[in-house]
Structure formats: C-alpha cells, structure tokens
Amino acid sequence: MSFDNLDTLYRQVIMDHYKNPRNRGELEDDSLMIDMNNPTCGDRIQLHLQVTDGKVEDAMFEGEGCSISMSSASMMTQAIKGKPIDDALKMSGAFSQMMLGEDVDSDDLELGDAEALQGVSKFPARIKCATLAWKAMEKGINEEK
C-alpha cells in the first residue's frame, strides 16, 4: 500500500472515531474517575475506569476537544478493555514512544486503531492532544495501585 493510501486510511480511521466515538459516556458505581486537560489547546477528558482484580474491566470517557484527542480517547478505551493493568500501562508507554517517533513493535502490544495516530508524531504541538487520554489512564491506574 502506498504512503498516500495509508495516510488516507489513517485519516479515515481517526475521523470515524471522532464522529462515532466508542465508549463515550460514564461508568457508575465505584469506577475510577480521572479528569485531565490540556491547557494549551483546551482539550479536556474525564476518563472512567472499572478496574477489578488487576484488570481493566471497562473504560469510558467524556470530554471535549479536537479530533485527535477525542479519537485517541475512543481508540484507547477500546484497546485497554479487558487487559491486565500492566498490559494497559505497557500499551501507554508504547503509544508515547510512537508519538515521539520511535519504533514500536505493535504486534506485541495490540494498539489497534491507535496505530492510525502515528502520523501525529510529525506535529509536536499535537502530541499532547493524542496522549491526553493515555496519560489520564496511567494516572488513574497508578493512583489505584
């Protein structure tokens, strides 16, 4: 597949998650709730995590922001659901590496649709948009531990 076709496909995946976000909403009961924002651009997210026995049972989000931040939140919640928290944290680390332009073995970490955001690494001002939800997840899991 040519670079142009791949770039177009990635844009389509990003816009699909932005227009049709997965896991948008909030969790009830005793779920973790993490509020984070990016004061530089105004993106904000409220992430809800249900962690049971060391596993992310469920993840949902609410918030406002650009297509990059909201699609990243949608992709992240899909990627971490059902994963052990250690795997979710490893995925977050790999995602951060990808945002810095470093090579990541995505086969081992199953980033799923989040791989479509790899082009964001070329735009340093947008990296914080893409990593906001992932940083919120790390904060919530680390506070839970």
Q: What CATH number corresponds to the domain at position 35? A: 3.90.1010.10
Q: Which domain holds residue 86?
A: 3-144
Which pTM was predicted? 0.92
CB 27 within 8 A of CB 50: yes
Q: Kindly indicate the confidence band of residue 110, based on its pLDDT and cuts at 50, 70 and 90.
A: confident
The Cα 108–Cα 124 span in angstroms is 26
Q: Mean pLDDT score of the chain, rounded to an integer? A: 91
Provide the pLDDT for residue 17. 96
Quote the number of domains for the chain. Answer: 1
Q: How many CB atoms lie within 10 A of CB 22?
A: 18
